Amino acid sequence: MEQRDSASVFSGLTDLASAKAGGKAVYASDEFFAPKENLLKEGRGVFIPDKFTENGKWMDGWESRRKRVAGFDWCVIKLGVSGIVRGIDIDTNHFLGNHPPYASAEGLLSNEELSIEDIVSGSLKWKEILGKSPLNPGSQNLFAVSCEEILTYIKLNIYPDGGVARFRVYGEPFPEWKIKGKKVLTDLAGLLNGGRVIICNDMFFGSKDNLISPGRSCNMGDGWETKRKRIPGYDWTIIKLGASGKIKKITVDTNYFKGNYPDRCSIEGLNNPGLPDYMVTDKNLEWKLILPETKLKGDFENEFDNILTDESFSHIRLNIFPDGGVSRLRIYGIPD
């Protein structure tokens, strides 16, 4: 696949393995130079020329020692949320003379937590989702995946050894409530429930994607924040819900935003599950008011249950007046 940024190539998909989404590097065959946990961190990794550890050069990734016996190294990842994998990014950023020349990936669906004994026993029935493929050094190596099975674990294999900075597993989340068809109160916008932030008009200080991340924000940078507005108008963002549903409660969390939270907000909805992402800003769409323009408090979980309609919605539009920062948006409803 042509070398392009994974965010654009896999636009509309969720990184199922992200540490922010609850992904975890469970076990690696070797992590002598750099720990497996780095694989799932945000960003592409950094390089600090003069930084060393007692084992050698410090590297912001997962790096095994030079292999002097037959075989290859591998790392098992538990996905933060089960899902169908559509693409993989094996990023060798900063690994130049020490990247693996080849890699492959396998997947597994397990309803139980895998123990270390399970993993090393060799008894697990892994399914190949990416055949042995060449890797470029210092690059985002992007691969499309054709597998329609729901997976909970991924095994990254590198041949024979070396370092990988980051590992991304892009796909469609299938949380337990969706698999079992449970109609319970759910955060329909949540990242782990399949929600996606499609677009916003401004995110100068903080990414729109933070809005639907799990948990509360860890600092002011872990939210959506627009620049100061010097012209008339307001800022907005549009979210595709993980499932259409009837909205019962809304939380607009301004955690850490104190002198820069929006003065007011409103929320509108649209029920068109099959609407292509590029059409969500079409001026002919008829958005319905769900939450009227309402005053907000800073550094506070603003909760609202004064929902104006009992209709189902597939898309949500959050409007903030006139500008500012929101750390999280929760849209609690009953999925259809």
Question: Per the domain annotation, does 130 fall within a domain?
Answer: yes
Same domain, 162 and 190: no
Q: Of 173, 191, 225, which marks where a domain is finished?
A: 173
Q: What is the largest CA-CA distance in the chain?
A: 67
CA distance 152 to 85: 10
Q: What is the rounded CA–CA span in Å between residue 261 and residue 10?
A: 31
For residue 7, the model assigns a pLDDT of 63
Residue 235 belongs to some domain of the structure: yes
Q: What's the pLDDT at 179?
A: 67
Residue 1 lies in a domain: no
Instruction: Give per-residue pLDDT as tens, 158-185.
Output: 999 999 999 999 999 988 777 666 678 9
Domain of 213, CATH number, reads 2.60.120.260
311 and 199 in a common domain = yes
- State the Cα torsion 175-177-180-185 to the nearest 10°: -160
Half-sphere exposure of 177 (CA within 13 A, CB side): 17
Identify whether the C-beta of residue 137 lies closer than 8 Å to the C-beta of residue 96: yes
Is the pTM higher than 0.75?
A: yes
* pLDDT of the residue at 21: 87
Work out the pLDDT band at 2, boundaries 50, 70, 90. very low
Name the residue range of residue 252's domain. Answer: 180-335
Mean pLDDT of the region 139-164: 97
Q: Compute the distance between CA of residue 258 and CA of residue 31 in angstroms, rounded to an integer.
A: 42
Q: Would you state the pLDDT for residue 176?
A: 73
> Which residues of 19-126 form beta strands (DSSP E)?
24-28, 52-53, 56-57, 62-63, 73-91, 102-108
1 residue type, one letter: M
Residue that terminates a domain, selected from 106, 140, 173: 173
Reply yes or no on whether the pLDDT at 238 is more than 70. Answer: yes
